[in-house]
Structure 1
Amino acid sequence: MESLRENLQLFTRRFGLLNSSCCESCCGEQVSLVQSHILFEIRRMGNPAMVQVADELGIDLTTFSRQIRTLEGKKLVIRQVSPEDRRVNLLRLTAEGERVLDQIDRYMAGKIEQIFSFMSPFERESVIRSLALLNEAVAKAGSCCTITADKEVACCK
């Protein structure tokens, strides 16, 4: 019988739909998995501070700043100094960033629908409820792992 960890590892690897080979079919842009997560969180959080997004994604600020510079170069993100606190940089998507994220959304929705097509309505609902429960439990348990500047995953012990 497969262990829970094995199932999670396989799921993570198999579900890694947005990878280096999908860019042309997904959005026609060279957007990495990390960059797609950043775009998603900026939209979800509504013009957040850089540190908020970095914390949410578990990426150290140096690595995150480098990713933001790349996204700014691609004209997908704008960084602005907060009018309330000049030490804080706020992020927002450009119109092009919104367009790319919309294309990624459509691509992912299609892939998810394709996966769910192999399930009954009851199985789909069970998976959706189970994922919600798993996400809540993970959030409550917390995590101390971050992605460092040298792309290593650093976890507290």
Structure 2
Amino acid sequence: MENESPNENLRGLFQLLTRRFGLLNKTCCSAEGVDVSLVQSHIIYEINRQHNPSIQQIAETLNTDITTFSRQIQSLIKMNLVTKTPLKEDRRISILSLTEEGKSVNNSIDQQMNDYLQEVFSGMNDFEKETVIRSLKLLNDRMVKSSVCCTAPWE
């Protein structure tokens, strides 16, 4: 390990980070007594972030196939977290919104993540925090510009 170059164990570093964020867990979050998967958490977040998004818009944002995505939406509707309303001008398009319970779950997940990150960053000085944040922004920007962006590199 001492003789490894900084790039030799990047995969291991990303895998460890993934595990520490709990991204491999079946349930990523428990909020308001509701267990939410990582995918469902992303959907809830995007519905909240975007203004009256359609199913297609959220599926594209998350780079998810529409069939798989539709099953997730149905699951969130059954959990009373999301509503789906046909667009008046074109009933083939459905608009997604969070129910009051969905908003509450989203706020709870936000608070949990913010508390967790605040704890993580509390052990860093301002320079270290700024360096991590700047590096994450740079990494995200480079990933978007990658030729294999938004898919696993081995697909």
- TM class by shorter chain equals 0.7 to 0.9
The structure-2 alpha-carbon separation of the partners of 1:105 and 1:58, relative to structure 1 and needing over 3 Å to count, comes to same
Are 2:27 and 2:37, in contact at CA under 8 Å, matched by a contact in 1?
A: no
1:53 aligns with one of 48, 54, 58? 58
Q: What aligned pairs does 1:138-153 form with structure 2 within 5 A after superposition?
A: 138-141=143-146, 143=149, 145=151
Aligned match of 1:105 in 107, 110, 118?
A: 110
Structure with greater contact order relative to length (CA < 8 Å, sep ≥ 6): 1
Query: C-alpha separation between the residues in 2 aligned to 1:107 and 1:18?
Result: 18
**Contact 1:75–1:96 under 8 Å retained in 2:** yes
Distance 1:53 1:83 in 2: 19
**1:115-140 C-alpha deviation (Å, 9 max, x unpaired):** 11221111111111111111112122
Question: 2 CA distance for matches of 1:100 and 1:39?
Answer: 9
Q: Is 1:124 paired with 2:129?
A: yes
Q: Which has the higher helix share?
A: 1
TM-score, normalisation: structure 2:
0.83
Question: Where has structure 1 moved over 6 Å in runs of 4 or more?
Answer: none
Matches of 1:18 and 1:47 in 2, distance apart? 30
* Structure 2 residue 58 is the aligned partner of structure 1 residue 64: no
Aligned partner of 2:137: which letter? A
Shift of 1:31: 1.1
Mapped partners of 2:110, 2:117: distance in 1: 10
The match for 1:136 is: 141
**Change over 3 Å in CA distance of 1:138–1:85 after alignment to 2:** farther
Counterpart in the other structure of 1:79: 84
- Equivalent-residue separation in structure 2 for 1:121 and 1:95 (angstroms): 37
Deviation at 1:56, TM superposition (A): 1.7
Larger Rg: 2
RMSD across aligned C-alpha pairs, in angstroms? 2.3
Structure 1 length normalisation: TM-score? Answer: 0.82
Q: Given the alignment, which residue of 8, 11, 16 partners 2:14?
A: 8
